[in-house]
Amino acid sequence: MVDHKVFKVAQIRDLLNQVNDETITFSRFVEILNEQANKVFVKAELILTLESKNDWINKVPRRLPDKNRHKENFLWIDKNGCVFELGEDFAAAERMGTFPCKVYRTITVSQFENRKEGNNV
C-alpha cells in the first residue's frame, strides 16, 4: 500500500523560506512536515454548527436530518479537531472553550462517485 502525503507547493516554499531566513530550524521544518502528513482528511458535509452545550441541548436531535442509510455517520468535531461522543465531551468543550461543535455527515465512496458524475445522492 502506498501512503501518499500531499502538500501544497506554497506551503513547502514558505517553510523553506523560513529555513533559509533562519526563522525556523531544519529539524522544525521536518517536524512540521510530519505533523501535516499525519492529518486525516474525511469527505463530509456540514450539517449543523453548535455554539455551546446549551445549543446542543436545545437543537439536538430535532435539528439533525433523518439518516439516509442504516450505518450513516455523523462526526461531531470541536475547534481542536477532537470528537464529541458523550455529554461529558460537551461539558469539557465548554470548560476548555473549544466550541463551536461542527456536525458533519460522512460521505461514502459511492456517494462521492455519484456526486462526481453529477447524480444526486
Ordered per-residue pLDDT tens for the chain, 121 residues: 445 566 778 888 888 999 899 898 989 888 888 887 777 788 899 999 999 999 999 988 888 777 777 677 889 999 988 999 999 999 999 999 999 999 999 988 988 898 887 765 4
Q: What is the pLDDT of residue 65?
A: 77
Written as nine digits, the cell of 7 is 502538500
Domain identity same for 103 and 50 = yes
Count Cα neighbours of 66 within 13 Å in the Cβ-side half-sphere.
Answer: 1
Quick one: 54 and 108 in the same domain? yes
Q: Do 19 and 53 fall within a single domain?
A: no
Instruction: Name the residue with cell 505533523.
Output: 35
In which residue are the cell numbers 455523523 written?
74
Residues 57 and 106 in one domain: yes
49 with 91, same domain? yes
3-class DSSP assignment, residue 102 = strand
Q: Which domain does 108 fall in, by range?
A: 44-116
Q: Does residue 50 sit in the same domain as residue 89?
A: yes
Structural domain count, the chain: 2
Residue with cell 501535516: 36
Contacts of residue 44, defined as CB under 8 A and 6 or more positions apart, other chains included, come to 75, 104, 105, 106, 107
Considering the domain boundaries, does residue 103 fall inside one?
yes
